[in-house]
Amino acid sequence: MSKWKERAAQCLRDEAQALLDAIPELDENLDKVIALMLNCKGKVVVTGVGKSGHIGAKIAATLSSTGTPSFYVSPLDLYHGDLGVIMPGDMVIAISNSGQTDELLRIIPNLLDRGIPVVGISNNRKSLLAKYSQAHLYLNVRREATPLGLAPTSSTTVTLALGDALACCLEEARRFSAADFARFHPGGALGRRLLTKACDVMIKENLPVAPPDMKLGEAVTLVSKGRLGICVALHEGHVAGIVTDGDIRRAMENSQNRFFELTVGDIMTVNPKKVSSETRISDIDRILNSNKIHCVLVVDDENRLLGIVDSFSVAI
């Protein structure tokens, strides 16, 4: 291993160990924090200076995306006129590695005087931040991961992970679902997959449909023109079954000279996978993968064909 690979590996080992060292420090204070956050009627305001502020912004973003309304604001802005953004019903998470950051401590008396709950996160149990917080989460970071042990590295990693841990606890407590997550991420790929429905992506025109008594010789042409690899058998307007190009190939191999005497009804699958127009494409994707198929039929309550969704349609 090269010198730099070893240095990088040591950094990762140090930060990983710092995360493990934080686990035994999870005590009744964690329960207090979760209770405060669950009972918070307003927003969770996260604040911190410097690197702690950057981590705080990420924590606030994670909380907001997982069902806990939250935002980050700098303590400098709060001290210079923006304390009005914190309203009754809100709570504050204050982050400081030392727990003694002057710019942060200056706003604490105002918050306490107004009855705003304060949660402190620091690496100093005896700090003023720990003293004046309703609950304090101790990082237990013994050394930063840099060669000099000075720049915030292990401490910021543990703080960030602790914020994620809070979000995980709250997500479970609120029974936050994938659909809830999608509502907060409508522009992302995951949001689109969770919110998009069959009716939004299904193929509706020039569908390859045939009566069950159509000869397979004709069905071959239909399947080829449809470019979906299937033919849907309809009887009196209702789905009777489905024939795939694989079904046709197997019929050719097994029936040989009788192939052109066979009909769609002779080889069709009578219970093809069907979904409603309101089925989410994330669910359709699971149906396709679990059944190792590439298409599902979209039908109404009376089993009439509305469209077809293929694997390309759900790959968004």
Question: Same domain, yes or no, for 151 and 220?
Answer: no
* Alpha-carbon span 111 to 116, nearest angstrom: 5
* pLDDT mean over 282-302: 93
210 in the same domain as 168: no
Structural domain includes residue 191: no
Given the structure tokens 């019929």, which residue do they identify? 251
Domain match, 163 and 233 both: no
Q: What is the model's pLDDT at position 46?
A: 97
In this predicted structure, what is the pLDDT of residue 224? 86
**Residue 51 CA neighbour count, 13 Å, CB half:** 14
Q: Name the band, by pLDDT with cuts 50, 70 and 90, for residue 177.
A: confident
Model confidence, pTM: 0.67
Which of 102, 87, 92 shows the shortest CA–CA distance to 72? 92
Q: Residue 93: pLDDT above 90?
A: yes
Output the domain CATH number for residue 38: 3.40.50.10490
Stretch 82-93: mean pLDDT: 92
Both 160 and 48 in one domain: the answer is yes
CA distances from 316 to 62, 197, 229, 281, 291 (A): 24, 12, 21, 9, 20
pLDDT of residue 166: 97
- Is residue 160 located within the same domain as residue 233? no
CA dist 53 → 73, 135, 152 (Å) = 8, 19, 12
**Within-domain flag for 184:** no
Q: How many CA atoms lie within 13 A of 64 on its CB side?
A: 15
Query: Is the predicted pLDDT of residue 189 greater than 70, yes or no?
Result: no
How many structural domains does the chain have?
A: 2
Report the share of the chain in percent with pLDDT over 70.
95
pLDDT at 246 > cutoff 80: yes
Residue with more model confidence, 166 or 311: 166
Is residue 152 located within the same domain as residue 280? no
pLDDT of residue 186: 60
And the tokens for 295?
């298409």
Arithmetic mean of pLDDT, 296-305: 96
Q: Which domain holds residue 120?
A: 3-176
Q: How many helices (H) and strands (E) does the chain have?
A: 16, 11
142 in the same domain as 51? yes
- To the nearest whole number, what is the mean pLDDT of the chain? 91
pLDDT at 195 over 90: no
Flag the least confident range among 44-58, 83-97, 109-123, 253-267. 253-267
Residue 32 token pair: 């207090």
Question: 31 and 39 in contact (C-beta within 8 Å)?
Answer: no
pLDDT of residue 190: 62
Type of residue at 3: K
> Does 114 score more than 90 pLDDT?
yes
Asked if 168 and 227 sit in the same domain, the reply is no
Position 82 scores a pLDDT of 81
Is position 185 within any domain? no
Confidence of residue 182 (pLDDT cuts 50, 70, 90): low
Label residue 187 by pLDDT band (50, 70, 90): low
pLDDT at residue 101 is higher than 80: yes
Does one domain contain both 168 and 49? yes
Is residue 305 a contact partner of residue 234, using CB atoms and an 8 Å limit?
Answer: yes
Q: Is the pLDDT of residue 43 over 90?
A: yes
Q: Which alpha helices (H) appear in 153-291, and where do they start and end?
A: 154-173, 178-183, 189-195, 198-201, 216-226, 245-255, 264-267, 281-291
CATH classification of the domain holding 222: 3.10.580.10
Q: What confidence score (pLDDT) does residue 256 get? A: 76
H or E stretch at 103: helix 102-105
Residues 153 and 203 both lie in one domain: no
Beta bridge partners of residue 121, listed in sequence order: 95, 137
Residues 45 and 134 in one domain: yes
Q: Is the pLDDT of residue 264 over 70?
A: yes
CB atoms within 10 A of CB 168: 13
- Residue 273 shares a structural domain with residue 169: no
Classify residue 156: in a domain, yes or no: yes
